[in-house]
Structure 1
């Protein structure tokens, strides 16, 4: 008997490889961060790095399994990856709209984020920018971790789960989730995206103020909402591409 929904194992492993590549790109930065810690480390540095990799790998795997199971039930997906794995032809018209919209979202979001940055700089703790420059992520880490791993954690995992949860609780009589709950899942996952940046930001300053929290939540939330919309309308690949393009544009602008 064939179920209406099936678990796409090839897609899971493809996304796992993409997510792991982003995590591994952070290893040089993690090594630098641990070397800069003034207090004695509770364990040897290599073991802390290994534990960090294991922890983040388990979180990634949970997000991927959750996303694979939930997304297909609420009409979310990664259509281009799925077509490629199924050896189906991918036509230009299948790629054109995701490429165009990802580029437009990246340009608009980059402009908004640069404007926000100019407003925020005088109001943020001075040591935040000084320490940020010391631990500045290389471009390849921004592209791989931001564009791949973060999208898998936040959009594929969190947003898919939230939308499935709302659908199960509030929309059981409908064939598809309503737009209200789609947008609610987009906004909530964007807030989670912003909150996820707080721990690292707090490590970079000893004088955190309320504007730092607003800056992080608003800055990450702007793109988080845009990426969620792309995921909903054009698939995971469009959100990943837009995230990569934003990091590339901001890197060039700064």
Structure 2
């Protein structure tokens, strides 16, 4: 139990670092879309950090507790905090994770450029991309904090519920349960972005909903698969790579904003 709490606090700390790191990116978006003075922005920032710190702690605590009944794990960090022998780290799987992430990120950019954006009215949209360093800092929020919320908590919870409802034990949970958890939380992740889409576009159309769910869900499915098969660490590293591609490298190289 002591080691479990160590893991909870470690992941919470990492998640809060992600929350703090995204502040410059969020402030750039807020200044672009909402007219607030500096004191109001500061208050929103402080409240946001406190709220997200609590959410990250709860998601971490519950996710780690529910993992026991799902065969999902955080193998390397768990071994580190418990001072037990580290399981072999798979550089092969890390390479596969980053390669698939790169391919999927390119697919997302192409879909956005040639399928979704041509069918969305952007006449009044003045979208200024954040500075590259703001996108770089946001990598930690996406890679760590979002993975804690979406995969460690959300996906684990869905699989835990399905296993309980179908009375399956940890050792024989059917792969269908994992796939429902993977796809379900990927769709939820896309839907959770809809409020910010309304803030940017000023409306919510069918095309915008499809764009948001599809483009956010593509990589979410891959991260969920990595969490299932290899552990949360591989999902975190691949998610960080995706945000690096989408928010830093591609905007610089391809002159696109996502």
Could you tell me the TM-score, scaled by structure 2's length?
0.85
Unaligned 5+ residue runs, structure 2?
252-258
RMSD: 2.6
Matched, 1:78 2:74: yes
Q: Deviations over 1:15-50 (max 9, x none)?
A: 111100110012223444555523789x84433222
Give the match for residue 237 of structure 1: 233
Give the match for residue 106 of structure 1: 101
Matched, 1:124 2:120: yes
CA contact (8 A) 1:79 1:235 kept: yes
Q: Deviations over 1:190-216 (max 9, x none)?
A: 011111211112111124322111011
Q: 2:46 & 2:170 partners in 1: Cα distance?
A: 46
Q: How far off its partner does 1:173 sit? A: 5.7
Give the match for residue 139 of structure 2: 143
CA contact (8 A) 1:159 1:185 kept: yes
Q: 1:26 & 1:48 partners in 2: Cα distance?
A: 13
Pick aligned residue for 1:15 from 11, 16, 21: 11
Give the match for residue 163 of structure 1: 159
The structure 1 segments of at least 4 consecutive aligned residues displaced by more than 6 Å after TM superposition are none
SS at match of 1:74: coil
Matched, 1:200 2:196: yes
- 1:170-189 to 2 correspondence within 5 Å? 170-172=166-168, 175-189=171-185
Matched, 1:214 2:210: yes
| Bigger shift: residues 104-113 or 9-18 | 104-113
Pick aligned residue for 2:150 from 147, 154, 177: 154
Q: How far off its partner does 1:142 sit? A: 2.6
Q: How far off its partner does 1:220 sit? A: 0.7
CA contact (8 A) 2:223 2:235 kept: yes
Q: How far off its partner does 1:61 sit? A: 1.4
CA contact (8 A) 2:187 2:217 kept: yes
CA contact (8 A) 1:74 1:176 kept: no
Q: How far off its partner does 1:244 sit? A: 1.0
| Bigger shift: residues 49-58 or 222-231 | 49-58
Q: 1:142 & 1:14 partners in 2: Cα distance?
A: 19
Unaligned 5+ residue runs, structure 1?
none
